[in-house]
Structures are given as structure tokens and as C-alpha cells.
A and B are shown apart, each in its own frame.
Chain A
Amino acid sequence: MNKVVNDFSIIVGTKNGSGSSTANNTILRAIFKMGIPVSGKNLFPSNIQGLPTWYSIRASKDGYLGRRDKQDIVIAINPDSFTRDLASVSPGGAFFYADDIRLPITRADIAIYPMPIKELVKKDPNVPTDYRDLVGNMVYVGVLAHMIGIDIEKIQAALTFHFKGKQKPIDMNFHAVQAGMEWAKTNLEKKDPFYLEPMNKTEGMIMADGNTAAAIGSVFGGAQFVAWYPITPASSLAEAINDYMPMLRKREDGKHTYAVVQAEDELAAIGMTVGAGWSGLRSMTSTSGPGLSLMTEFAGLAYYAEVPIVIWDVQRIGPSTGLPTRTSQADLSFTIGMGHGDSDSIVLLPGDVFECFAFGWQAFDIAERMQAPVFVLSDLDMGMNQWMSKPFEYPKTPMDRGKILWEKDLEEIKGNWGRYLDKDSDGIPYRTLPGNKHPMSAYFTRGTGHDEYAKYTEDSSTFIRNMERLKKKYETAKKYLPKPVLHSTKGAKVGIIAYGSTESAILEARDQLARDHGMKIDILRVRAFPFTAEVDEFVREHEQTYVVEMNRDGQLHQLLSLANPEAATRLISVAYGDGLPASAKWIREGILEKSAKAKPAKKIAVKKSTARKSSVKKSKKKGAK
């Protein structure tokens, strides 16, 4: 048997709310500390306790952090998902299971390892009865550690980190790990090919989730006001702001330079955010699709009233019940048109945890510079899962507060200013803030009906003038937006355009397509909407461009086609959204399938009509039977 080293997946099937996350994080962190690139994804149901849940860990010597479709090692702790878990193991894989589950083992093509979890925990006098299930999870950590070679010292480091140095829980859990290891040493014989060996590929890197990164980035961006309403998968973003604000913005007098308000709903959350942005605060909210739709009216008002706010949308699947805890990239079209009447949205598209941090502070600069709402689209996979990342970088530029006039500024211009006057010919007017004591500072804010001096009017030509200025402002925005990221391959005539969390899986798919099919592919990851010139150039320079995204309808593909109508026939949609994080497999297969179809474009159109005829014939025959 050939050894498989540092390149496999581990899937743990447990019950939601059974406390297995400590165990799974311990495995993840220990592998990371061994210097092996690793990622961890929680595939969980919408449930507090009891339903099956899976944690997927991937070790990848090549640094691929996307989800791996193959299930190499499966650990089954949950009787309810046992049969399904057993069936899911890839041929040649390994199956660890809690031996109190007495269900038939029907596979001969994999290594099978029973684990006496309950028995071992019962034996330990230091584990109180009600902690047995929790600590029991650590037994499989120990068994697995022995079988695949997880460094015991790194496990201890992971536990010390997790329990913040508190010795009692560290010891209790560590003993269970040791018990599992000892038992495996004397009772199990290695029959699978999977091994971990130390590397040095994680040195200087950190592990974090995107929501935490976004929260800390926002704090470094000087966030002053956060209003939010709980919704999966965005809640942990606002909660992380609550966690980090006290430490990062601590003052000697103990007073606060910020306020975080849990609102009564998303309508109020964004209403408060708009109010605070209007009065001059770095103001933000965070939500997910259903909450975003409730925020629409205010987002439209903020566009017309020109109020800077930041809205984080951690995307998930659709409304109501069903798959709300599954990832998605299906809010893009909605966000672009969010509002009513003519409306343009500025959208930032972070691709990883590092960018969640960076866009956390940059979004405020862009919003205040542009006096407009800025949407930041993350997703559940990026926001809630653990990713290896470069360490966060301190902002390189000072805060850009945009065009604001205070008392002394108004004194200099003798109070002669207009809230919506395009003085600098860039579409961006000047604003004053409540609390300004200059008698000429105040203005009255409304939606659409105002002239350059904020006076009420319904005059058509004034309205048109204002609309044209807003369009000009949107053009100006392009120069403040992050440029796309290009991964180029020499001699590539085919391209991929994508955004967000799919990048890692796309890079893996590109390497597989090059290795197995000789395809040379350039990748452009867009990071903002409106698209900048680089995106149009990329589309023009490639014979075919596959637009890869996690949704059904190919929203990014539609937007790119609209932006480049003359090149639309060269844009091919590879869209797929099943709620699971992107994997190289569906991207690779999607591209192969589409590329086979795409080549004889004209001929297909002719064949289509004949095909339709023949299918009619067939159905007639069926009917005759």
C-alpha cells in the first residue's frame, strides 16, 4: 500500500450540539501547528441539538483549502447518520466508529476501526458523569492521532489555546486524548494509507474565520456604530465586534467611542445605521439574504440621501426554513439593484479571510469618500469556517473621512455651500454633520426631491441634474475600488472569472485541468462592483471565459454579459449551488462539460431543432403504447 502523506480529508459525523467542535478544532489546530496546510468546514443543519452534523477537515500539502469531494477518513459518532457515514467513505479509505453503535458493517473495501469511547471515559475517575459525552469526543481525537500521526504536543497546544490556559479542562480533555492513544496503540492495527508528517508550510500564518476577520477589520477601520439583528450566518460578525471592541478601543477613562445596538429587526438595524452614518459616524450593519431584503427600502434611501454606511452580507441559501445554514453566492444580483427606481450599488467582494479584514476597514473609507452605501459580500463558508491566512495587516493609509465641512470650513467660505452641489466635478458633494454650530450648517435631508441646496423641489430638470450627478459619482467610485486579482498561466487563451470564497477550489481545479487535460487557464477574481477596466480587458483578451459561481442562474455571468454585450457569447456560465462549499470537482467537471459543448457553437443551434422533432416522435410512440 502506497502511503498517502498530508493529502486527505477527515470527516466527523456527530450530533449537533454534542460538543464535538472542541474535538474537531483540536484536530484542525494540531495539524496546522504541524506545519501542514489545513482547512476546517462545519456542515451543519438549522438546529440547536440533535440533528446530524459533519465537520470536514482537509490536510493539503499543496495548500488547497477548498472542500475535498473525497471522504478519505470518516469518524462516525452519531448512530443516526452511521449507515450514511459508512457508505460515504471513498474506496480505500478508513472508517472509525464508536463501538456502542451496533449497526452492521457492510464494507470490505475500507479499513474499519471500532473505538470504545464510552468505556474509556467511564474508566476515568476525573471525568464527572455529565461531562462524559463532551470529553468522550476527545477519545476519537486520541485514536485518530495515534493512527495517522498527529503530534501529541501540538494537541496539548491546541487545548491550551482553546481553554485559554485553564488547567482543569485542559487536563481532563488531554487525559481522554491520551487514553484514546494508548488504547489504539495496543488494540488497533494500521490498515489504511493515511499519514501526517510535519512540514513548514504554515509558519507565520494564522487560522481564522471570515466573520471574526471582518469584525476586527471594522474595528481597525474605526467603526463607531453597529446595529444588527441576529441571523445565521452573520451573527458571529457583530458578536465578534462586541468581543474585540473593549480590548482594541480601551480608554483610560473607561468610556466608549462606539455603540453596538442589537435592533428589533433588520428594518431598524439599517435605519439606525443610516441615522448614524448621516450624523457622521463610521456606521455598519451585518446580515444575510433575508435580512438584506428587509433592508432594501433604507438602502435605496441611503443611495438618494447620500449617506455612507457599510452593509456586510454573509450569504447563505434563500429565505425561511430549509437550507439557511448552507453557503451560497446568490445575493449578487439582488444587491446590485437594491433600492427602487434608478439605483447603483457599490459592492466589495472579499475572497478570503485576509480580505475580510482588509475590506473591513477599507469599506468605511470608500463609503465616506463616496457618501454611499457600500455592500460587502462574504458567504457562510468564508464567514464561519476556519481558514489558514496571512496575518492581518495594519491599514496602510490613514482614515479617509471624505468631504465634510465643520464650523471653521464654513467660516472660510462664509457659509456659502450646497449639500448637493458638485463643486469638484466628481459627482461627490460636501456634507455637514449634526452638532455643527455654524448657523448655515444645517440642511434638511430627504429622498429624491431636492435641489443643489437641499431645498424641496419636484422640478423635473433639477431631478435629472441630480440623477446625472449621481451617475458621475458612481463612475468616480471605480478609482477607489479594489482591483481584481489575476492568476495568469503562460499561453492561456481560456479564462475563469469568479469572486469570493471559491478561489481556492478554482486554483485546485485549474491545476487538475492543466495536469490531466493540458488546459491553460488564466483566473481573474473580481473584488468589486462596478467592474473596473481590468475586467473588461480580461473578457476581451480570452477566447472563452468561464464564469464560476455558487448559485443556479449564473448571476455574475449575467452581470458580465450586460457589461460586455459584444463579448457575451464568449462568456460561459459554470454555476452550481447545492449549499456545500465549492469543491474543485464541480468546477473541473463543469468546465469540461461546458467546453465540450461550447466548441461548435453554430452547429448546435441547427441540431437543436432536429432534436426537438425527434423527441416529439418518441413521445407519440409512448402514447401509442
Chain B
Amino acid sequence: MSALPMAGVPANVNTVGLTKNDYRGAPTTLCAGCGHNSISNQIIAAMYEMSVLPENVIKFSGIGCSSKSPTYFMNRSFGFNSLHGRMPSIATGAHFGDHSLKGIGVSGDGDTASIGMGQFKHVMRRNLNMVYIIENNGVYGLTKGQFSATAERGLELKKQGTNPYMPVDICMEALISNATFIARSFAGNAKQVKELIKAAFAHNGIAVLDIISPCVTFNNQDNAHYSYAWGKDHEEPLHDITYIAPRNEIVLEREMAEGEVREVAMHDGSVIILKNLEKGYDPTNRFEALRALEEAQRNNWLTTGLIYVSTEKPALAETYNLVDTPLNRLTDADLRPAPEMIDKVNALMF
């Protein structure tokens, strides 16, 4: 296996012959400085670097600021901006049209943890092959600054007063719903966001990325959990993460020789390497993952990194034992029973 770029290919072109521009979307209409834009940029960078053909990706979203963002990356991919809280069901149905495609769903804390909590939990247990990004800012932006279900208790917002309720922890919800890949990051940590997107994309199944993405307009007081200042001060990375694509495996492994490392192999042969910082953290241990989340909650930490991964469970399409041809390319001959079957059916009636 060679690590060298393919001969004759310009340096700014990836292995499927596309430039980074081929992964861009329409200009953003979100607020300047919004964490969501940074995440869109990391999606673009990750897809470009992984040489993903945009036609092999479907974008999904619900409703909210976050759900607008699929417009702002990957114009050459199909996309469906659906209903508030209903992105998982649209994505699930669409996936059956062509199960070789990978979904990238973008949702927000309102879209996922309030109105969409039911669908969020059920898409976890179905293990749909999709990256599920939650751009989490603890506040409703499009409707001008109401509390979301992830807002911490005691948070004060201009028109809303003090939040009286305990917050929903999206990663914990994902974990107890049997999600197979759970990570948390912070929009201000661009490198980690990108590496986690790559790892999530390589995962065969549902991959939840809870990305704290501060709202610069409605929730960016220094003491608020979903602010840049708080995030930077309280970020507690579990480990450094590096995603290694299958074709580069040998070379990069040599580079990663130093320090405590744990490799997690993905289905497609790629590897994520976790460099542990403080703890001997094992992300394949579900019990450990729950403990880490509980610990973070008690200590007011923003634990980032890959919290949990399991590569043992079949993804949704495998559960259904589908034909290899995408279902949406099947014809009459595949779909309509033969004429003689009508007599057989009539004989089965009384």
C-alpha cells in the first residue's frame, strides 16, 4: 500500500478527483461567528480529505438554526430539510431507497432533545447508518432565545428568566438507547471536530456527535455552559483522536508510535487512534462510558472525545437482508409477482 499521492494528480485534488470547492454549499445565512458554520466547514474538510463522493452522501435535517446548515455544505449531495424533530424518520425511510449511501444528519438540541426525543431514541436502537450531529447550544435561536432541554438549571436568559429544570444529556440518552458510536466535541476545537466526523463517517451504524456549538446571539454569556468562554475553560478531552483512512494505514501508524494509544478498528478497515490524556479510558466499554458521563456531570466537565463505540451490532439495512441492488433501481420484474401468482393467492382465500 502506498502513502504517496497518485501520480499526475494536482495536490489540491483528492483521490476521487475533486477539489475542496466541490464539497461546498450555498453561502451561510446563520449569524457571523456561529459555531454551526465552523462545524459545516469541518464536514467539508473531512469529506474532502476522506475523498468521499458527494453523490454517495444524503444530508438530512429537521428544523432550527442547525437544521438549516445542510444547505451550507455539499451541494452535490441530495438533501432533505424535513420537519421539526422528525429527521430520524425521514432519514430511516430514505436509507432504504439506496442503502449504499451514507447519511449525514444535522440537528439541534431543540430538534433532538425536545420535540424529537422519541425519534432520536428510536433511531439509536435501529442503528441507522448515519452520522447524527447535534449542534448543541442550549437555546432556541430561530424563535429568538428560549431555553432548550439541554440548557443547564439556573441559566438566566434575557426574556426567559431562570431555567428551572435539569438538562438532558444527549450522549447519555444515546448511550442508554444502545447507540453504537457516541462522541462529544466543542465547535471551538476544529481539529477534534473534524477527526470525530471522519471516525463517525467510517462507522457502520448510527454515530452520534454532540457538538457544543455556542449561540453568539442568544446564549454566549461567559458563565453559560454553551458559551465559548465556558467551553474553553471546562473542556476535558478524554484523548486526542486521529482518524486514519484505510489506504494510509501503514504510514500514519508509524507516526503515531509515541505514548499511550488505543486503536479502534472500523468496518471499512480504517482505524481511529485515541491518545489517552489522563485516564486509561476504554471507549468500547459501555459501563465505563456511562461512568465517564456521570463523572463529567458531577464535576461540571465538558468531556470531549470518543465516548463509546461498538462495531458488533448490524446496521439497519443488514437487519433487513436487502438485495445488493439499491431498492430504488429495481424494476417491474423484481417487484410485481408473476401472473400465475394471482391464482395462487385467490386459492388461499376461501
Contact = CB atoms under 8 A, between A and B. Distances in A.
B93 A276 contact: yes
A527 B134 CA distance: 46
Contacts of B94: 275-276, 278-279, 434
Interface residues of B, number: 56
Interface string B324-345: 1011111010111101011001
A49 B32 CA distance: 63
Contact of B122 (A207, A224, A268): A268
Contact of B70 (A219, A392, A432, A444): A444
A552 interface: no
Interface stretch (B1-9, B76-84, B288-296): B76-84
B93 A272 contact: yes
A257 B335 contact: yes
A456 interface: yes
A279 B79 contact: no
Nearest to A243: B348
A222 B335 contact: yes
A439 B335 contact: no
A256 B320 contact: yes
Contacts of A433: 97-98, 328
Contact of B83 (A297, A393, A434): A297
Nearest to A272: B93
A107 interface: no
Nearest to A443: B78
Interface residues of A, number: 76
Nearest to A213: B349
B89 interface: yes
A268 B342 CA distance: 33
Given A224-B335, A273-B93, A435 B326 contact: yes
Contacts of A222: 332, 335-336
Contact of B86 (A207, A216, A298): A298
A244 interface: yes
Interface string A243-260: 010001101011111110
A222 B90 CA distance: 21
B55 interface: yes
B78 A442 contact: yes
A581 interface: no
A274 B95 CA distance: 11
B116 to A, nearest CB: 10
A259 B83 contact: no
B28 interface: no
B223 interface: no
A255 B321 contact: yes
Contact of B337 (A225, A249, A276, A436): A249
Interface stretch (A5-13, A280-288, A376-384, A513-521): A280-288
Interface string B70-113: 11000111111111001011111111111011000000000000
A568 B75 CA distance: 53
Interface of B: 26, 53-55, 58-59, 70-71, 75-83, 86, 88-98, 100-101, 118-119, 122, 320-324, 326-330, 332, 334-337, 339, 341-342, 345-346, 349-350
8 contacts: A257-B330, A264-B122, A265-B118, A281-B328, A432-B78, A435-B328, A441-B55, A456-B26
Q: Which 6 A-B pairs have the closest CB atoms?
A: A279-B97, A275-B93, A271-B89, A222-B335, A280-B328, A435-B98
Interface of A: 29, 32, 158, 161, 206-208, 212, 216, 219-222, 224-225, 227, 244, 248-249, 251, 253-259, 261, 263-265, 267-283, 297-298, 301, 305, 389, 391-395, 398-399, 432-439, 441-447, 456
